[in-house]
Amino acid sequence: MQTLTPSFSTALHFIGGQLHDSPTRFDVIDPATGLAFQTAPDATQAQLNQAVVAAKQALPAWRDLGYEKRGEQLRAFASRLREQAPTLATLLTQEQGKPIARAREEFERSAMLVDGITRLAIDSELLREDARGRATLHHRPLGVVGAITPWNTPIVLAVSKIVQALYTGNTLVLKPSPYAPLATLNLGVLAKDLFPPGVLNIIAGGTDLGSWLTRHPDIAKISFTGSVRTGKAVMVACADTLKRFTLELGGNDAAIVLDDVDVEKIAPQIFWAAFGNSGQVCMAIKRLYVQRKAYEPLVAALARIASQVQVGPGADASSELGPLQNRAQFEYVRGILDDTRRSGARLFEGGQRLPDSGYFIAPAIVADALEGMRVVDEEAFGPVLPMLAFDDVSDAVRRANDTTFGLGSSVWSSDLDRAEEIANQLSAGTTWINSHMGVEPGVPFGGIKQSGMGVEYAVQGLKGYMEPHVIKTPAHDLQASH
């Protein structure tokens, strides 16, 4: 691998192996100040077409390269992610808001995903071999994939789509969120001399670009991570050309805590599973059901942590939680908190706007919450945790499942057999026991109900980037070949 001397001074599109500007650029806001600090290029429809043409031209050679060679190039890309993490993490923090240590971790997690996914084997399968002949199942790349990523964990989600699409032999056109496009655009700088031109293309823009991408006739699949509302629009847009799609959408994840837990032990784990990245994680705990005996002790323990956590600009090394990423999300969370104050629930700790400039809200513990309140029924996607008491476990399971979402869930208990029994009753794509959150390269992740369609990661996720191809050979031809 050649030594790279990157230049991250100006964010540019990465199209056909080259960096490109656009006739117009848009502001990128620092959520710690609420002020613009840099601009990003706003792609034209012609630039999207240019990226798709480049991806189509690169497809045959990349497809034919094979898993081993593609994996080697992707792992070289992972090495670049690790090398440049200190520089790009600073940029990620400024555009996204998360503490600098968490930004560095995001690059490391991304590199680990690449390393893990490129070690997975997608083998052909012998379906039958008998007197009729032989039938085998193969998996072929779809073609040019379009990917759309959100603003909460931009690098992990961009890199996960890059590695899955490219490792399976597709080429890619990636669109990051316009709220946090800069670090993702600079992945093109890292990739510039690694992949053949056109294999990876990264272009920035707003709603129009997303619409052009999802409706483009030469895009074979869309991989989208984001809100339910936008996911439904993506699904409709894919219908005209029968595009394949994977949708990883929102969640209103429930955690069920039984009364046999060690409250002081689990409280920090639950707090960070709810408030990490200021609650801006699709699979974070969003509703906490606690059995009556453990309820008040856990309320008090979580409130104590919330009162002590350091909230501030991500660039400050002492900050443990940063701001909300954008003004729209900030105002949405404030609206939910205003409704909560009027609802009769106890805002036990936090919830106030902090005096700093920017989009800061103190982490809020909401006790005595009930279904029917916005704070329970809607996904706040912010630093707010409603806590609901229960007596009967079957009632808690029913309430946890009574939602249109179905991304993640968790059960907390010192009795693993009991916890597994409850976990099997929960309607979610993933249920954790005595933990919550986290993805692995070899374990599929996705949602049910309105939390998504399809899965990412593992062999199951990789096959979502491929088309099944059955080959049948008659018995007499097999005999003749021998």
pLDDT of amino acid 187: 97
pLDDT of amino acid 476: 79
Structure confidence by residue, pLDDT tens digits, 215-243: 999 999 999 999 999 999 999 999 999 99
| Lookup: tokens for 248 | 């990883």
Amino acid identity, position 468? P
| Lookup: tokens for 164 | 């899955």
CA-CA distance, 171 to 149, in Å (whole number)?
Answer: 16
pLDDT of amino acid 482: 62
CA-CA distance, 270 to 101, in Å (whole number)?
Answer: 20
Structure confidence by residue, pLDDT tens digits, 18-61: 999 999 999 999 999 999 999 999 999 999 999 999 999 999 99
Domain limits, CATH 3.40.309.10, in the chain: 253-433
Which whole number is the average pLDDT over 147-160?
Answer: 98
In terms of C-beta density within 10 A (0-12 exposed, 13-18 middle, 19 or more buried), how is residue 418 classed?
Answer: middle
Enumerate long-range contacts of 347-351, CB under 8 Å, 24 or more apart.
Answer: 348/299, 348/303, 349/302, 349/303, 349/306, 349/307, 350/303, 350/306, 350/307, 350/383, 351/384
- Which band of pLDDT confidence, cut at 50, 70 and 90, is reported for residue 10? confident
pLDDT of amino acid 352: 87
Cross-sheet strand order for the sheet of 364-367: 346-349, 364-367, 384-390, 285-291, 253-257, 408-412, 430-433
- Which band of pLDDT confidence, cut at 50, 70 and 90, is reported for residue 1? very low
- Which band of pLDDT confidence, cut at 50, 70 and 90, is reported for residue 310? very high
Domain limits, CATH 3.40.605.10, in the chain: 13-249
Does 477 have pLDDT greater than 80? no
Mean pLDDT of the chain: 95
Which whole number is the average pLDDT over 346-362?
Answer: 85
Enzyme catalytic residues: 248, 282
- Which band of pLDDT confidence, cut at 50, 70 and 90, is reported for residue 301? very high
Cβ 24 vs Cβ 44: under 8 Å: no
Indicate the SS3 state at residue 443. Answer: strand
pLDDT of amino acid 4: 47
Residues whose CB is less than 8 angstroms from the CB of residue 308 and which lie 6 or more positions away in sequence, other chains included: none
Q: How far is CA 26 from the centre of its chain?
A: 24
Does 480 have pLDDT greater than 90? no
- Which band of pLDDT confidence, cut at 50, 70 and 90, is reported for residue 7? low
The neighbouring-strand residues paired with 144 are 171
Does 5 have pLDDT greater than 80? no
pLDDT of amino acid 6: 56
- 253-433 classified as CATH 3.20.20.70: no
Domain topology for 13-249: Aldehyde Dehydrogenase; Chain A, domain 1 (3.40.605)
- Which band of pLDDT confidence, cut at 50, 70 and 90, is reported for residue 2? very low
pLDDT of amino acid 347: 81
Indicate the SS3 state at residue 155. Answer: helix
What is the 8-class DSSP label of residue 352? Answer: P
pLDDT of amino acid 75: 98
pTM, 2 dp: 0.95
Among 354, 348, 295, 347, CA closest to 322: 354
pLDDT of amino acid 366: 97
Percent of the chain with pLDDT over 90: 93
> What is the distance in angstroms between the CA of the first residue and the CA of the last residue of the chain?
45
Structure confidence by residue, pLDDT tens digits, 123-152: 999 999 999 999 999 999 999 999 999 999
CA-CA distance, 193 to 14, in Å (whole number)?
Answer: 12
Cβ 59 vs Cβ 70: under 8 Å: no
Helix orientation angle between 292-308 and 263-275, rounded to the nearest 10 degrees: 60
Structure confidence by residue, pLDDT tens digits, 411-448: 999 999 999 999 999 999 999 999 999 999 999 999 99
pLDDT of amino acid 241: 95
Does 247 have pLDDT greater than 90? yes
